[in-house]
Structure 1
Amino acid sequence: MFLPGWSAWCVLLTLHMSACGLEISGYESEEVICSQGLSDCTMKDEVSLSEPKNTVDVQNIKPDFKLCCEDRTTCTLCLVIETEIYIHPEKDVEDEGHSGSDEEDNSDETSNPKASVMVCYKIAATLPTCKKVEFTVNHAALAQHNQTKIAMVIMKPDGFPFSSQMYVYPPKSIHLMREFIAPSLYEVCSKELQKRVPKCYAPTISTVINQEKNQVELLFKGRNKTLPSVCVQYEEEGNCQNWNRSTIPLYSVTPCTCLQVWDDDERTSVRTRHCPFNKTNVLHVVQKNIWENVSVSVRPGKMTDYSAMLSWNLSAPCRLEGEVCLSHRGNGCRETNTFRQQLKKDTWKQNSKGHWEKTGVFENINLQLTPCVMVKVKGAQHELGPFCFENTGRWRWSLLVVGVMLLVCLTALLFYFLHDLVKKWVWSWNNGGLVQIDRTGHVVLLSPPDMYDGVSESVCQLGSFLRDQGFSVSVDQWSRKEQCTLGPLPWLHSQLLRLNSHGGRVLLVLTDKALEKTEEWTHRDEDGVMKRGDKDLPLSSSPYSDMFTASLFIIQADKQLGRAGERFLLLKFDSHPLQSYSSDRTLPVVLQGLPLFQLPSQTQALLDELGVVETEKGPGRMTWTEWSLGSSDGWRI
């Protein structure tokens, strides 16, 4: 394409749009534009970097991006390279030959003198692409000093990538290489252009205020199932926080609330910002939410010269304009300008919750006069406040009251935990003397997996008896609350850790059903599943079945380490004899080798095993049978 003058070429090359600051080209395909003095300009792709002998000199390169619109509807990003060249007068004629058919051999016409220029461009991390422009030189029409210009409009099917890093250079003059960045998608996608650029498509959003439900409904045009992504921000410069619901509480919406919407399914996601709550028709509904969400805190302090100061912190959803002033006891602001500080929008900072904060300090004040701050906000009908600093004397009285309450609570807790010990001393005194308690360790008493009232009663009586002998005793039937809180198995492991720290034993109570359960556990398969065969062994449901089974695993592990007898003892009651097991050898394998005691006939032997030292004062100590018959505290739930 040839134009008679450079000024006319500039007019037709670009049309400026002030809305986005990006120029729109008037071309629908790749073209080359030559200025005065050049004609018959053609542009083609070039693979070889060699140029004809009469190649012109490239003096300057100016690359730029335009929006090239096909059929004036769809626009893509295209590259425009403006090249300034200098043509030497002595290299103005060169015959490159005449092409034609055999029938035209007799023609006397000669080929026109031609020249060419080559420019290459490349996107970062890609191979370069070169364009060669050939033209006929008309020296008579050239501008002064043989300088002229050529512009190349280069297009790609999908357009050049947005925000890409580009390099443009002439092959023979690498020092003229130009590096620049393509415009971003957000720069291109202004409201006037987004309908003409396919990649600028973004979902649209509308809002409806439902005052009955106290919420704002978000509506997306053309979306029923898949909703776009949304984030909420206060002020256009604020941080945007993701929002995954289709409604927003009305109390959190203010005039400065904005919504950003984008589609995650698209390969190139464009965000659009909507600030629908600053319109006149909804302003009166959401304006009050600013004042209701304003918070002010004051705090005393000391300056470097040890004079008193009062610092204040104001937090609000939107940046406010107005002033903060100092008052005493909430009686109004002082007239002195020293005690007034202005609120300006450019001095706010946003916190992690999305609200805006402003801080300040009043210096050289008297804290004994109960200083307060008042907030005057532009647009508000009334002042906010007063926000006062409480005198430290009141805090001292408050701390005294809190300290007394803590002391009373601590005394009550100590009495609660020590009342059993006091009760034992009182019982011992009433029975003729004081019994010296020899605490020799911790005892854990585990019930069998079947529930019988007689067995449960005997287990509880044994636990109470051992506790009166000076032991620290934990009985599974007494610890239901802890088991519900921690879980049965964690409770058992906590007791074993206590044994490891303080010493003691675990007493496992046996019954016929317990031994059947143990035998069944012994013959479990490799995966830990019980093998019942053709025989079903029904057992009564018990809350202690899991702890009994867990203890078998621990016994087996201790036996492999050779220390099972150091932590576990077996018990059986005379009132519930074992029918199928008459000796240690007939017990299940996992229980064989553990000490077995029969109660109450072997009570003293059990105490000796546990390490009790007979140290009495006064009449002789009661046996377990006498204790269980004479003590009203022998049965516990």
Structure 2
Amino acid sequence: MDVSDLTLKAGLCCEDGAPCSLCLLIDMELYTYSNKDMEDEDRSSRDDEDFSKEIRNLKASVTLCYSTAAMLTLCKRVEFVVKSAALDHQDKTKMSIVIKKPVGVSFTSTVFVHLPKQPDIRRDITVPSLDEVCSTEIQQRIKECAVPTFSTVIKQKANEVELQVSGRDKSLQSYVCMQHELKGRCLLLTKRTIPFYQLTTCTCLQVWTGDGDHRSRRSRSCPFENHTDVFQRNIWKNLSVSVANGLMNDNGAKLSWNVSAPCRLEAEVWPCVALGESSCKEMKGFRQQANGTWRQNSKGLWETLGVFEDINLQLSPCVMVKVKGMEKTLGPFCFNDTSRWRWNLLVVAIVLLVCLTALISCLLQDSVKRWVRICHGAPSLVKGGKGHVVLLSPPEVDSVVSEAVCRLGSLLFNKGFSVSVDQWTRKDQCSLGPLPWLHSQLLKLDSMGGRIVLVLTRKALERTEEWTKQDKAVPQTWSPYSDVFTTSLFLIQADKQLGRARERFLLVNFDSHPAQTSSRDKSLPEVLQGLTLLHLPSQTQALLSELTVGHKKGRSVRRTWSLWRWGASNGRRAGTREKLDQQRESSCKSVRGDSKWETKPLNQ
């Protein structure tokens, strides 16, 4: 048997007073082969008696499948018996199939039906919407048609409107959303009270129940249309006009305008030339109606756009707006608003005055260098006149190495050096970036003399070796902005080309974390070869001598840098020795995270 025709319908199944449910109704026309055709084909190979019994009890089946865009395909198979008498008198028959509550099918769904054995037969249908179904006489028997109703209570003293939802199943949660006009986007409300300032005459509300499905049927209403005395003013308060100038494709001048409001309005717009703060002379021949295409912007307001073409922008034109229903004309709105410019000048003047006052105060208390350090929150330690030392940690995160670096910084500070440790200046590094921060430290070296001390470990040498290979292959692969350690490698390479890397950089390692190299070992990565390497704590005195010699050389040699040139004069850090020690210990503790750690010199 074959299916010669198929008809698909969507309907409602209502039985024994029970609620009606969605059904699929499928009518098929089947073509059956006659007894004579079957006899001619099979009689030669079968016994007459067996063949006669078979055609009297012929079993047949039809398989059809249905699906929607949101679900997988489901199939149904219908089996039946064909009487032999029917085959003697007709070759076509009709059959109907009803699928109750089809899985995945809802109102407004598009359903596709096909026959697996006959791919050429395919049908589809769109299920009517819930609003359309609920407009029928049997809506009382359709569960989805039961929607709540709501009323509004205006509370003048509280300046709010209360929503009262009723006529719903108390076991289901109700939802309310608010929109500007019925075609606007509907925003879900979390409260049942709405302040006056959010409401206008075009404010509409939607209420529904269920699990929050936005496809559920809703009751819609715009209950404030007639309250013009209360809510009309909110339209004017939220109405705004913006103006911009520009050029057209033929280089002609144009003046663009934009009107936005909670509700779509009827308005007239025209350009004018400002004669004073409140008067503006109309430019004839440019009037436009702001009644074109309205669309909602990201704030939920309706807006419409327009352009005045071939207009003389040298006259600094402005825009006037007349809204239907408003007695007062709005404007002028200008793209070079002088009043706004005057406010901007006032703000700039105030900011400059505050900055000048702060600068004078800092100069009276200490030097410009101290002001820069305090304003940027850099906790570097300043003491004595032995020069500046920048202590850079290796790239790995190791609490033991971090403690050793902190102790080395404390030791150098106690010996009279100005010390800046990268572990203590994470805030500056985050705000400036590794390269600018390191350049700022080099500027201190220019004025005070000193060295950048690079701490080496096995991980640091591996990173340097990898950087050297990458730098030779593709120079752009590594960025000097990645971290302070990598930045120092770029600067070392640049100074080696100028022949001054040995004067600026010094290498150290700790005996507890040896870098497996000596001060003359050629196995150092190429970029580090030629730099002095000291082992701590055994060569602590040699380190102090090197830094002292580097300080004297640095003060006698004038250095210039092209980036970030701001002044910094030598000065003593105000405060007692105890405060500096507290700040140093606090910085080290914040790195390690252990409040019981105690700073100790390396030589102990």
Task: Tell me what 1:251 maps to.
Answer: 197
Q: Does 1:77 align with 2:25?
A: no
Task: Tell me what 1:352 maps to.
Answer: 298
Task: Tell me what 2:357 maps to.
Answer: 412
Q: Does 1:340 align with 2:376?
A: no
Residue 418 of structure 1, CA deviation:
0.6
CA contact (8 A) 1:119 1:169 kept: no
How far apart, in 1, do the equivalents of 2:580 and 2:252 lie?
Answer: 68
CA contact (8 A) 2:65 2:116 kept: no
How far apart, in 2, do the equivalents of 1:392 and 1:273 lie?
Answer: 46
How far apart, in 1, do the equivalents of 2:170 and 2:62 lie?
Answer: 54
Task: Tell me what 1:565 maps to.
Answer: 601
CA contact (8 A) 2:35 2:87 kept: no
RMSD of equivalent CA atoms: 5.5
Alignment equivalent of 2:307, drawn from 355, 361, 368: 361
Alignment equivalent of 2:323, drawn from 377, 385, 389: 377
Name structure 2 gaps, 5 residues minimum: 40-54, 368-382, 390-415, 431-436, 449-578
Alignment equivalent of 2:153, drawn from 192, 205, 208: 208
Question: Do the aligned partners of residues 368 and 395 (structure 1) sit closer, same or farther apart at CA in structure 2, a change above 3 Å counting?
Answer: farther
Question: Do the aligned partners of residues 550 and 401 (structure 1) sit closer, same or farther apart at CA in structure 2, a change above 3 Å counting?
Answer: closer
Task: Tell me what 2:122 maps to.
Answer: 177
Question: Do the aligned partners of residues 319 and 149 (structure 1) sit closer, same or farther apart at CA in structure 2, a change above 3 Å counting?
Answer: farther
Residue 127 of structure 1, CA deviation:
4.6
Question: Do the aligned partners of residues 213 and 176 (structure 1) sit closer, same or farther apart at CA in structure 2, a change above 3 Å counting?
Answer: same
Question: Do the aligned partners of residues 159 and 240 (structure 1) sit closer, same or farther apart at CA in structure 2, a change above 3 Å counting?
Answer: closer
- Report the 3-state secondary structure (helix = DSSP H, G, I; strand = E; otherwise coil) of the residue aligned with 2:26: strand
Task: Tell me what 1:324 maps to.
Answer: 269
How far apart, in 2, do the equivalents of 1:547 and 1:415 lie?
Answer: 26
Alignment of 1:186-201 (within 5 A): 188=133, 195-201=140-146
- Report the 3-state secondary structure (helix = DSSP H, G, I; strand = E; otherwise coil) of the residue aligned with 1:74: coil
Amino acid at match of 2:179: Q
Amino acid at match of 1:339: R
Task: Tell me what 2:207 maps to.
Answer: 261
CA deviation string 1:128-148 (max 9, x = no partner): 212356688889998xxx777
CA deviation string 1:497-519 (max 9, x = no partner): 99996799xxxxxxxxxxxxxxx
Q: Does 1:120 align with 2:64?
A: yes
Amino acid at match of 2:218: T
- Report the 3-state secondary structure (helix = DSSP H, G, I; strand = E; otherwise coil) of the residue aligned with 1:213: coil
Amino acid at match of 1:288: R
Residue 58 of structure 1, CA deviation:
2.7
CA contact (8 A) 1:76 1:159 kept: no
CA deviation string 1:371-425 (max 9, x = no partner): 33233334x1425412321657777777776666555444333221111359xxx
- Residues matched between the structures, number: 397
Amino acid at match of 1:360: G
Q: Report the TM-score when normalising by structure 1.
A: 0.49
Task: Tell me what 1:571 maps to.
Answer: none
- Report the 3-state secondary structure (helix = DSSP H, G, I; strand = E; otherwise coil) of the residue aligned with 2:230: helix
Alignment of 1:60-139 (within 5 A): 60-71=5-16, 74-85=19-30, 118=62, 120-123=64-67, 124-125=71-72, 127-132=74-79
Q: Does 1:389 align with 2:334?
A: yes
Residue 247 of structure 1, CA deviation:
1.0
Residue 80 of structure 1, CA deviation:
0.9
Amino acid at match of 1:257: T
Amino acid at match of 1:128: C
- Report the 3-state secondary structure (helix = DSSP H, G, I; strand = E; otherwise coil) of the residue aligned with 2:183: coil
How far apart, in 2, do the equivalents of 1:324 and 1:311 lie?
Answer: 11
Alignment of 1:431-450 (within 5 A): none
How far apart, in 1, do the equivalents of 2:136 and 2:200 lie?
Answer: 24
Task: Tell me what 2:527 maps to.
Answer: none
- Report the 3-state secondary structure (helix = DSSP H, G, I; strand = E; otherwise coil) of the residue aligned with 2:300: coil
Task: Tell me what 2:253 maps to.
Answer: 308
Amino acid at match of 2:287: F
How far apart, in 2, do the equivalents of 1:375 and 1:368 lie?
Answer: 21
How far apart, in 1, do the equivalents of 2:582 and 2:16 lie?
Answer: 80
Name structure 1 gaps, 5 residues minimum: 1-54, 95-110, 423-436, 444-469, 474-489, 505-542, 567-592, 595-637
Amino acid at match of 2:291: L
How far apart, in 1, do the equivalents of 2:342 and 2:588 lie?
Answer: 58
CA deviation string 1:93-118 (max 9, x = no partner): 99xxxxxxxxxxxxxxxx99999774
Residue 66 of structure 1, CA deviation:
0.6
Amino acid at match of 2:318: C
Question: Do the aligned partners of residues 210 and 224 (structure 1) sit closer, same or farther apart at CA in structure 2, a change above 3 Å counting?
Answer: farther
CA contact (8 A) 1:232 1:240 kept: yes
Question: Do the aligned partners of residues 295 and 139 (structure 1) sit closer, same or farther apart at CA in structure 2, a change above 3 Å counting?
Answer: same
Residue 159 of structure 1, CA deviation:
10
CA contact (8 A) 1:210 1:216 kept: yes
Residue 78 of structure 1, CA deviation:
1.0
CA deviation string 1:478-501 (max 9, x = no partner): xxxxxxxxxxxx999979999996
Question: Do the aligned partners of residues 194 and 270 (structure 1) sit closer, same or farther apart at CA in structure 2, a change above 3 Å counting?
Answer: farther
How far apart, in 1, do the equivalents of 2:592 and 2:62 lie?
Answer: 88
Question: Do the aligned partners of residues 293 and 268 (structure 1) sit closer, same or farther apart at CA in structure 2, a change above 3 Å counting?
Answer: closer
Which stretch of structure 1 is more off in the superposition, 66-75 or 133-142?
133-142
How far apart, in 1, do the equivalents of 2:591 and 2:78 lie?
Answer: 86
Question: Do the aligned partners of residues 284 and 140 (structure 1) sit closer, same or farther apart at CA in structure 2, a change above 3 Å counting?
Answer: farther
How far apart, in 1, do the equivalents of 2:73 and 2:112 lie?
Answer: 11
CA contact (8 A) 1:260 1:271 kept: no
Residue 223 of structure 1, CA deviation:
8.6
How far apart, in 2, do the equivalents of 1:261 and 1:64 lie?
Answer: 31
Residue 272 of structure 1, CA deviation:
1.5
Task: Tell me what 1:293 maps to.
Answer: 238
Identity of aligned residues (%): 37
Question: Do the aligned partners of residues 359 and 113 (structure 1) sit closer, same or farther apart at CA in structure 2, a change above 3 Å counting?
Answer: same
Which stretch of structure 1 is more off in the superposition, 313-322 or 402-411?
402-411
Residue 149 of structure 1, CA deviation:
4.9
CA contact (8 A) 1:205 1:218 kept: yes
CA contact (8 A) 2:145 2:217 kept: no
Question: Do the aligned partners of residues 334 and 271 (structure 1) sit closer, same or farther apart at CA in structure 2, a change above 3 Å counting?
Answer: farther
Amino acid at match of 2:364: H
- State the structure with more CA Rg: 1
Residue 551 of structure 1, CA deviation:
7.5
CA contact (8 A) 1:207 1:276 kept: no
Alignment of 1:587-606 (within 5 A): none
Q: Report the TM-score when normalising by structure 2.
A: 0.51
How far apart, in 2, do the equivalents of 1:148 and 1:251 lie?
Answer: 69
CA contact (8 A) 2:202 2:225 kept: no
Task: Tell me what 2:218 maps to.
Answer: 272
Residue 360 of structure 1, CA deviation:
1.4
How far apart, in 1, do the equivalents of 2:13 and 2:318 lie?
Answer: 63
- Report the 3-state secondary structure (helix = DSSP H, G, I; strand = E; otherwise coil) of the residue aligned with 1:343: coil
CA deviation string 1:179-238 (max 9, x = no partner): 455556566455976543224444443222222211111222269999633332222232
Amino acid at match of 1:120: L
